Amino acid sequence: MSNSTAPGIAALHARLTSLNPGAAILADDGADAAALTGIADDVTRWLAVDAIAAHRSADAFALVRDAAFTRGALEAFLDEAATRFGDALLRVKGLVALSESPDRPALVRGLGSVFALPVILPAWPGADRRTRLAVAATNLDRAAFTALFDAYAGSPAVDTPDRAAMMDNPLALPGLRPR
């Protein structure tokens, strides 16, 4: 790199870091394919809420719970979250503890109302085995989103439906959710 391009590169690096402090920045002379692939190679780095808190116009927060989801409850939560809150969600990502496989978390990723299918990882990336979801949104009813998350996680709350009521309701039509 010549001396004349160094300030430009430094400015670009600073700008990219301000947009996404959690993203790795790779120089073209040092990047390899392994650094660009791997869905969850460094999950703990990109789960940091500080990385999404940089969105000045967005509300960023984390939900951390000891409770494990069933796979069905996780899929139902993602479906309902997309339907009810998709217009407000910018990004959702995290690791979810699963009751069926405590040693293998589900990796969750979503943009707006579109969620990728959860990916079951071969192992937890570290010692922390709690469910952790990082959310960036605009104009999100955080209390309603959190209540929905807790209901599907099986966390009891006063005057709130629990997981069984949410999933085993014989009057609910599959795929139809109230807005």
Rounded CA separation 39/53 (Å): 22
Residue 125 maps to which CATH number? 3.30.1220.10
- Tens of pLDDT along the chain (179 residues) come to 555 567 777 888 787 776 666 666 766 665 555 555 554 455 556 555 444 454 556 789 999 999 999 999 999 999 999 999 999 999 999 999 999 999 999 999 999 999 999 999 999 999 999 999 999 999 999 999 999 999 898 876 555 555 555 555 556 555 554 44
| Number of neighbours of residue 92 by Cβ within 10 angstroms | 24
Question: Is 163 inside any structural domain?
Answer: yes
Based on the fold, state whether residues 11 and 48 are members of the same structural domain: no
Residue type, 96: V
**Would you say the C-alpha torsion 76, 78, 79, 85 has a positive or negative sign?**
positive
Rounded CA separation 25/95 (Å): 23
* CB-CB contact of 80 with 177 (8 Å): yes
Based on the fold, state whether residues 93 and 54 are members of the same structural domain: yes
Rounded CA separation 179/41 (Å): 36
Rounded CA separation 99/142 (Å): 25
Question: Is 173 inside any structural domain?
Answer: no
Based on the fold, state whether residues 51 and 94 are members of the same structural domain: yes
User: Which residues span the domain enclosing 11?
Assistant: 1-37
| Structural domain count, the chain | 2
* CB-CB contact of 73 with 154 (8 Å): yes
Rounded CA separation 82/77 (Å): 8
Rounded CA separation 76/71 (Å): 9
Based on the fold, state whether residues 33 and 85 are members of the same structural domain: no
pTM of the model: 0.65
Based on the fold, state whether residues 160 and 72 are members of the same structural domain: yes
Based on the fold, state whether residues 132 and 157 are members of the same structural domain: yes
Based on the fold, state whether residues 30 and 99 are members of the same structural domain: no
Based on the fold, state whether residues 67 and 113 are members of the same structural domain: yes
Based on the fold, state whether residues 70 and 116 are members of the same structural domain: yes
3-state SS assignment for residue 49: helix
Question: Is 176 inside any structural domain?
Answer: no
DSSP 136: E
Based on the fold, state whether residues 88 and 141 are members of the same structural domain: yes
Based on the fold, state whether residues 6 and 92 are members of the same structural domain: no
Based on the fold, state whether residues 71 and 8 are members of the same structural domain: no
